[in-house]
């Protein structure tokens, strides 16, 4: 889907403040319910040693104080900090693409609403891009931290290895980088929060409408130019939840965050199937190359996902009769008296939640 189409659709469902000017770097911050750590995340951007930037905050219909915090920073500096908001939850993919569509700078970076950046982060990445004119992405080493700021071990008790950005792409071609990404040799989670050349990122299409859009986008971007690494640990990535290797974490959680509702049909297919479908929709020669890589590398994982989805389907079929009986029983019950005064569900909070 092209940038102009996304802009047209998003404009019907958003409102925005402060968009004008042409800085060198645009920082896009897609957020949803980021109240606990949003202030420190924005302040880390404000404290950057490189100052020719704009920060575009896209609020995906947050229900906490995220909008108030973002608007406070916008009113302090409306020229540099812009704010836009979806009236309804559009999902992560739409929110990430929204800030890219609104970017004015020659360089672009996604920044999280709960992570922290060293004051020299932007200056160092921009210097790396200037030193490598053929590079389309620069990223730094990563320090994994918990929500309270404590450092996390590189590998936890269950064997999960946190992404530390230790990979180095020096001297690798686009085909070699794409192969490494497909084979899982390089985790894309932290690389996606690097500094891009805006035109190259838009040619790659931004986040595609698929599961794991960051990984797929980086594989496509690898054919646009080189990736360069800054060895210093300048990016502190906060893990709000402890990762694991269960099917719920690897499939259900990404599906729920990528789309607010009605995920596309291909998101329920095994990873090999939807990754190949995405690859085959790319222009030549990228599509066939990526499709063959995906089919060979993930052939065993595809069978595991088929088994997991089949188990979930059978479990749902067994529970369907009981659910139907409960619905019929509730419909036959007379309506209750409704919320009583003084209960935690009275008044507006019954439908809008605690504020």
Instruction: Specify whether the CB–CB gap between 259 and 93 falls below 8 A.
Output: yes
Cβ–Cβ contacts within 10 Å for residue 210, how many? Answer: 20
| Predicted pLDDT at 261 | 79
Residue with tokens 């645009």: 26
* Sequential pLDDT tens for the chain (355 residues): 455 455 444 444 555 555 555 899 999 999 999 999 999 999 999 999 999 999 999 999 999 999 999 999 999 999 999 999 999 999 999 999 999 999 999 999 999 999 999 999 999 999 999 999 999 999 998 888 887 777 776 544 434 455 555 566 666 666 666 666 665 545 666 789 999 999 999 999 999 888 888 888 888 888 888 888 898 989 998 877 655 555 555 666 777 788 887 788 777 766 666 666 666 666 667 667 767 766 666 655 555 556 655 565 566 566 667 666 665 665 555 544 443 333 333 333 222 333 3
**Ranges for all domains in the chain classified under CATH 3.90.550.10:** 3-239
**DSSP strand pairing (135-146 vs 226-239):** parallel
pLDDT at position 37 is 92
pLDDT at 68: 95
> What is the maximum alpha-carbon separation in the chain?
73
Helix (H, G, I), strand (E, B) or coil at 224: coil
Q: Which runs of consecutive H residues, i.e. helices, occur in 333-346?
A: none
Beta-bridge partners for 59:
31, 85
Q: Which of 100, 69, 84 is nearest to 18 (CA)?
A: 84
DSSP H helical ranges for 156-298? 174-182, 188-191, 198-203, 213-221, 247, 253-258, 271-280, 286-297
Q: Which token pair is 295? A: 């089919």
Cα(186)–Cα(96) distance, integer angstroms: 21
> For position 12, what pLDDT does the model report?
45
* Residue bearing tokens 């980088």: 177
Q: Give the residue carrying structure tokens 């990535």.
A: 237
Question: What's the chain look like in SS3?
Answer: CCHHHHHHHHHCCEEEECCCCCCCEEEEEEECCCHHHHHHHHHHHHCCCCCCEEEEEEEECCCCCHHHHHHHHHHHCCCCEEEEEECCCCCHHHHHHHHHHCCCCCEEEECCCCCEECCCHHHHHHHHHHHCCCEEEEEEEEEEEECCCCECCCECCCCCECCCCCCCCCCCCHHHHHHHHHCCCCCHHHHCCCEEEHHHHHHCCCCCCCCCHHHHHHHHHCCCCEEEEEEEEEEEEEECCCCCCCHHHHHHHHHHHHCCCCCCHHHHCCHHHHHHHHHHCCCCCHHHHHHHHHHHHCHHHHHHHHHHHHHHHHHHHHHHHHHHHHHHHHHHCCCCCCCCCCCCCCCCHHHHCCC
Quote the pLDDT of residue 164: 54
Task: Decide: pTM greater than 0.85.
Answer: no
Tell me whether the omega of the peptide bond preceding residue 285 falls within 30 degrees of 0, making it cis. Answer: yes
Distance from the Cα of residue 201 to its chain's centroid:
15
Between the two ends of the chain, the Cα-to-Cα distance in Å is 36
**Residue 317 confidence (pLDDT):** 64
Q: Which of 160, 159, 157, 177 is nearest to 169 (CA)?
A: 177
Asked if residue 45 lies in contact with residue 27, where contact means CB atoms within 8 angstroms, the answer is yes
Hey, CA dihedral for 229, 230, 233, 236, is it positive or negative?
negative
* Distance (Å, whole) CA 69 – CA 54: 17
Report how far Cα 213 is from the mean position of its chain's Cα atoms: 8
What is the CATH T-level fold of the domain 3-239, as seen in this structure? Spore Coat Polysaccharide Biosynthesis Protein SpsA; Chain A (3.90.550)
């Amino acid at each position: 889907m092209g940038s102009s189409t996304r802009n047209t659709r998003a404009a019907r469902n958003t409102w925005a403040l402060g968009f004008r000017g042409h800085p060198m770097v645009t920082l896009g911050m897609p957020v949803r319910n980021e109240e606990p750590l949003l202030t420190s995340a924005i302040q880390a951007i404000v404290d950057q040693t490189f100052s020719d930037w704009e920060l575009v905050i896209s609020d995906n219909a947050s229900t906490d104080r995220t909008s108030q915090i973002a608007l406070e920073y916008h009113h302090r500096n409306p020229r540099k900090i812009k704010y836009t908001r979806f009236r309804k939850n559009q999902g992560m993919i739409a929110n990430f693409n929204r800030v890219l569509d609104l970017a004015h700078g020659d360089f672009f970076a996604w920044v999280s609403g709960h992570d922290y950046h060293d004051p020299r982060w932007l200056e160092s990445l921009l210097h790396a891009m200037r030193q490598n004119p053929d590079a389309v992405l620069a990223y730094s080493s990563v320090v994994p931290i918990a929500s309270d700021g404590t450092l996390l071990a590189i590998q936890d008790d269950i064997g999960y290895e946190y992404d530390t950005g230790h990979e180095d792409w020096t001297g690798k071609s686009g085909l070699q980088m794409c192969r490494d990404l497909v084979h899982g040799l390089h985790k894309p989670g932290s690389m996606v929060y690097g500094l891009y050349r805006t035109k190259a990122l838009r040619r790659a299409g931004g986040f595609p409408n698929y599961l794991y859009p960051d990984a797929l986008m980086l594989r496509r971007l690898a054919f646009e130019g080189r990736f360069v690494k800054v060895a210093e640990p300048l990016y502190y990535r906060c893990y709000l939840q402890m990762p694991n290797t269960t099917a719920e974490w690897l499939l259900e959680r990404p599906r729920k965050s990528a789309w607010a509702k009605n995920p596309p049909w291909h998101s329920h297919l095994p990873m090999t199937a939807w990754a190949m479908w995405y690859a085959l929709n790319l222009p030549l020669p990228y599509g066939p190359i990526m499709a063959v890589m995906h089919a060979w590398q993930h052939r065993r994982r595809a069978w595991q996902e088929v088994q997991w989805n089949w188990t979930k389907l059978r479990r749902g079929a067994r529970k369907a009769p009981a659910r139907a009986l409960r619905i019929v029983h509730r419909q036959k019950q007379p309506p209750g008296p409704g919320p009583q005064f003084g209960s935690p569900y009275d008044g507006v909070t019954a439908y809008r939640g605690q504020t």
